[in-house]
Amino acid sequence: EAGVAQSPRYKIIEKRQSVAFWCNPISGHATLYWYQQILGQGPKLLIQFQNNGVVDDSQLPKDRFSAERLKGVDSTLKIQPAKLEDSAVYLCASSFQLTLNTEAFFGQGTRLTVV
């Protein structure tokens, strides 16, 4: 079974530039998550989708971050404009459905460096 695919693996941009990350979840998984992981900390949830609808985006900095999952499959996360503090690993995860008795599968992440 193919895992969660993310691209690119690494990205370096200057502050105030824009950047986009792409995620393709495991086939058939309805729930998709984006997490931000700053060095030395645990992952922090940014947004959660169920199919193509947003379940929770309360921790997404909406002035600069946006995410979409238009067809309920793959998803993109965008930052515009980027700040130095956005340097982090951005992780995408998916799970089969929105229930408790199931696990989430994570991609390898995109490491963003803002200079």
Interface residue list for other proteins (CB under 8 A): 4, 31, 33, 35, 40-45, 48, 55-56, 91, 93, 98-101, 103-109
Residue 93 half-sphere exposure toward CB, CA atoms < 13 A: 21
Tokens 């393709």, residue? 24
The nearest distance, CB 42 to other proteins, in angstroms, is 3
The nearest distance, CB 16 to other proteins, in angstroms, is 28
The nearest distance, CB 51 to other proteins, in angstroms, is 14
Q: How far is residue 62's CA from residue 39's CA, in Å, rounded to a whole number? A: 22
Tokens 């690119």, residue? 8
Residue 20 or 30 having the CB closest to other proteins: 30
